[in-house]
Amino acid sequence: MFNIHSTELLLVAIVALIVIGPEKLPQTIRTASLWIGRFRRSFYRVKADIERELNTDEIRRQLHNESVLADIEETKKQIKNTADETKQSVENLVNSDDFDPGASAETLRQQADAEAAAAQGEFEEAAQEVESVRKELYGNGKNPKLAGKDGDIEDSEKTDSDSSQS
């Protein structure tokens, strides 16, 4: 910690013995050691608290960002897979042996409606999943840290009003 040589410590001890005296020197050393120990403990405690607070917030933000990105990537993959499947389905239909370009408009419309309904259902499922992830992450659109606090207050108010109406 400090760059103090052993001869310097010996010199300090001799001066302390002369100034304080041999009777009070042990008690003075104990008192000085006690104060130094208290100072070191309080310093390390404050240092640990500050490091814990800084690292906790940073880690929490980093984990939140990583989870949001992972959810977005997963949803993006699902939408891309749905689009690829739809494209493949249309290509299979066009390239199939029973595809009849001269078929009646009603038959073609029914086939197109069935495929469109299937694709629409898949897109609605993906949209609902994206919305659920958004609500999970951002609640009512406010800061995620504050959204939980506000949601708790609103839930308790709803519970109180429900119980008063009964």
What is the pLDDT, as a whole number, of residue 77? 92
* 71 contacts 133 by C-beta, under 8 angstroms: yes
What letter represents residue 98's amino acid? D
| Residue ranges in the chain whose pLDDT is less than 70 | 1-2, 96-105, 108, 139-166
What is the pLDDT, as a whole number, of residue 166? 46
What letter represents residue 125's amino acid? E
- Answer whether 0.85 is exceeded by the pTM: no
Cα(166)–Cα(149) distance, integer angstroms: 27
What is the pLDDT, as a whole number, of residue 9? 82
| 83-116 residue pLDDT tens | 888 888 888 777 766 666 655 667 767 777 888 8
Of all residues in the chain, the percent with pLDDT exceeding 90 is 14
Mean per-residue pLDDT of the chain: 78
Residue holding tokens 């494209």?
87
Burial environment of residue 144 by CB neighbours within 10 A (0 to 12, 13 to 18, 19 or more): middle
